[in-house]
Chains A and B, each alone.
Chain A
Amino acid sequence: MKKALLAILFALPLYAEDGAAILARVDAARNPINSFAVDVSLTAVSPKSTESSKFRVYGKGSDRSVVEFVAPATEKGKYLLMLRDAMWIYMPSASRPIRISPLQRLMGQASNGDVARTNFSTDYHPTAVESESGEWVLDLAAKDPSIAYARVRLWVDKKSSEVTRADFYVVSGKLIKRAHYAEHGQRVEIEDLLKPGNRTVMQYANLAPHDNPDKMYTKDALGKW
């Protein structure tokens, strides 16, 4: 009995640490480079139409990113800055960065946060870990109520630590989005579960190290560098 209790006592923190360790490996697999640039194309498909847009994301560390709008022409010249959960958008017509909320959408089912966020550990902590046929299933809770999704369930390949699927829940507990990851995380398909038939495909390409100076990640330098 004593041995069983000791085993449980030791196992509990180990189990909690496992979730954090798995999440750390997930983020390391998603962000192999500390300072990088990557091209992202978004295709939003609805029963009525298909729209495409292109972005270039400049990331640094776990919680800083700048998104440059490349296409379509109507969006050119816009920039989005994300510092952890704080976001600003710069539009050439407004000539100044405007504070926005993470829930505001870039296009289709992808919110600003979906494109700009490169890391899960910064915003979420694991609350439970399950094992499911070759995959870990992590239950993540937002560290801060200001995070766009209150809860995320993450399916992670045990061998590669790559995410294969993610379910996003809002504060009310409602599941609103499901993302499927393929091609080693280079392709993400986001389903809008509130509007069946609507989905957005995010395709990453040309990930490479890029020297991003710290001032890039300041509100005042947005659109000026």
Chain B
Amino acid sequence: MVATLILAATIKIFGSAGGEALFTPANTGSPLNPHNVAAIARTTNVADATTLIDATPADRAWKLHLKLRADSSDRGADHLRIGEAYLQLNPRPWLDITVGRIIDKWGTGYAWNPTGFISPAKNPTDPNDRRSAYRGVDAIKADIFVRGTSVSLYAMQHQTFAARVYRLVANTDVSLHYYRTREGTWQGISVARVFGDALELHGELARRRAVIGAQYTFPRNVNVVAELYRAGDGLSAKQWDEIRALATIDLRAANGAYAPLRMGRNYSFVRVDVPFSKNDVELIAITNLRDGSSIVRATFTRKLTPSISAYVIDTEFAGSRGSELSYMQVRRVTTVGARVYF
């Protein structure tokens, strides 16, 4: 591999390294965490480093891409892992063959991607993956580009196959998605379109899940994203009541069954981003539309130098007694961190 890199005409190496301190006071008022039975640590320190390497010869007949990530935490084991590692061959101008571990993100939604069948799991409260933690799937992939239409075919482990067809139709991004495993098949469609010079509308529909949303850019680059998400496989009110009842008899089982933002079927998402000077303020609010409970996350980022940023993130959980997010085992999450880019 080293020899391959040396032979390459162009090698690009870039990435980032960062450290964070997380303050997480336990929410002992949660029925899932009386007397902090979940043993929530008050502070956690984490560090990570991600390096991306691209090697390409002058004729671009192939490309080697690596994403290496090291993680360290004072609350767990250290990890070194390959997030992405693939060799892409370009045998024809209209054909790419890619072999290895690939991160591909499907869909047009900002916080949720119902059509993201092969995408890394997304955290709606951190849609941009600030710590670059995504990991790809092992696959052989063929990309075919014909007259403005791209077709991507994937063969993965355990007899899993996927396909996506994309085309810009009347200035609208239209993608059709297909995914087949031994358990069944899934289909989906995603669309996005820009109206005028500031408004973007998008939507995705897959089996039992759908998202619709809009993004608007105001003068001075103030950006607002709003989405509505429907998960038909989320919990009904009755099923949520069963988990609440379980918490009174089997705390361990109830904690195992509880997953924030999956205990309901309908959610809203709003993000407002305000950049000014070398600073950026981002506000995210996600609300369970059944009980009104919310996650509110505020991030302040300051660019200290062209390659160093520092940030403070405060995540609060609000909701009436018995609501989904009143069951969070932590009262809030406060994160202080810095990241160096190279």
Contact with B197, one of A91, A103, A220 (Cβ below 8 angstroms): A103
Chain B residues, CB < 8 A from A91: 128
| Docked-complex contact A102 and B197, CB < 8 angstroms | yes
The answer to whether A184 has its CB under 8 Å from any CB of chain B is: no
- Known contacts: A92-B52, A213-B93. The answer to whether A103 contacts B217 by CB under 8 A is yes
| Docked-complex contact A221 and B196, CB < 8 angstroms | no
Minimum CB–CB distance from B267 to chain A (whole Å) comes to 20
Assembled-state Cα–Cα distance A215/B217 (Å): 29
Query: Which of A18-26, A32-40, A145-153 sits within the interface?
Result: A145-153
| Docked-complex contact B63 and A225, CB < 8 angstroms | yes
Assembled-state Cα–Cα distance A102/B199 (Å): 10
Minimum CB–CB distance from A212 to chain B (whole Å) comes to 10
| Docked-complex contact A96 and B195, CB < 8 angstroms | no
| Contacts between chains A and B (CB distance < 8 A), count | 117
> Which B residues between 243 and 292 are near A, CB-CB below 8 angstroms?
277-278
The answer to whether B231 has its CB under 8 Å from any CB of chain A is: no
| Docked-complex contact B194 and A146, CB < 8 angstroms | yes
| Docked-complex contact A101 and B199, CB < 8 angstroms | yes
| Docked-complex contact A225 and B60, CB < 8 angstroms | yes
| Docked-complex contact A219 and B150, CB < 8 angstroms | yes
| Docked-complex contact A95 and B148, CB < 8 angstroms | no
Contact with B194, one of A51, A99, A194, A220 (Cβ below 8 angstroms): A99
| Docked-complex contact B152 and A76, CB < 8 angstroms | no
Contact with A95, one of B88, B104, B173 (Cβ below 8 angstroms): B104
Contact with B306, one of A73, A83, A220 (Cβ below 8 angstroms): A73
| Docked-complex contact A72 and B306, CB < 8 angstroms | yes
Assembled-state Cα–Cα distance A71/B202 (Å): 30
> Which A residues between 171 and 225 are near B, CB-CB below 8 angstroms?
194, 213-215, 218-221, 224-225
| Contact mask for chain B residues 190-221; partner A; CB cutoff 8 A; 1 contact, 0 none | 00111111111010000000000000010101
Assembled-state Cα–Cα distance A220/B153 (Å): 13
- Which among A52, A72, A73 has the greatest number of chain B C-beta atoms within 10 A? A73
| Docked-complex contact A72 and B52, CB < 8 angstroms | no
| Contact mask for chain A residues 99-115; partner B; CB cutoff 8 A; 1 contact, 0 none | 11111110000000000
The answer to whether B24 has its CB under 8 Å from any CB of chain A is: no
Report the nearest A residue to B193, measured CB to CB.
A99
Chain A residues, CB < 8 A from B197: 101-103, 146-148
The answer to whether B302 has its CB under 8 Å from any CB of chain A is: no
The answer to whether B134 has its CB under 8 Å from any CB of chain A is: yes
Chain B residues proximal to chain A, CB less than 8 Å: 12, 14, 52, 60, 63, 88, 90, 93-94, 96, 103-108, 119-120, 127-130, 132, 134, 143, 145, 148, 150, 152, 166, 168, 171, 173, 192-200, 202, 217, 219, 221, 223, 277-278, 303, 306-307, 309, 341-342
Pick 21 A–B contacts, CB within 8 A, sort by A: A52-B306, A71-B306, A74-B341, A86-B168, A93-B129, A94-B105, A95-B103, A95-B104, A96-B104, A101-B196, A103-B198, A146-B196, A147-B197, A215-B94, A215-B96, A215-B145, A218-B145, A218-B148, A219-B166, A220-B152, A221-B143
* Apart from A95-B134, A218-B145, A224-B143: 18 A-B pairs, beta carbons within 8 A: A51-B306, A72-B306, A74-B309, A91-B128, A92-B132, A94-B129, A95-B105, A95-B120, A96-B105, A99-B193, A146-B171, A146-B195, A213-B60, A220-B143, A220-B145, A221-B96, A221-B145, A221-B150
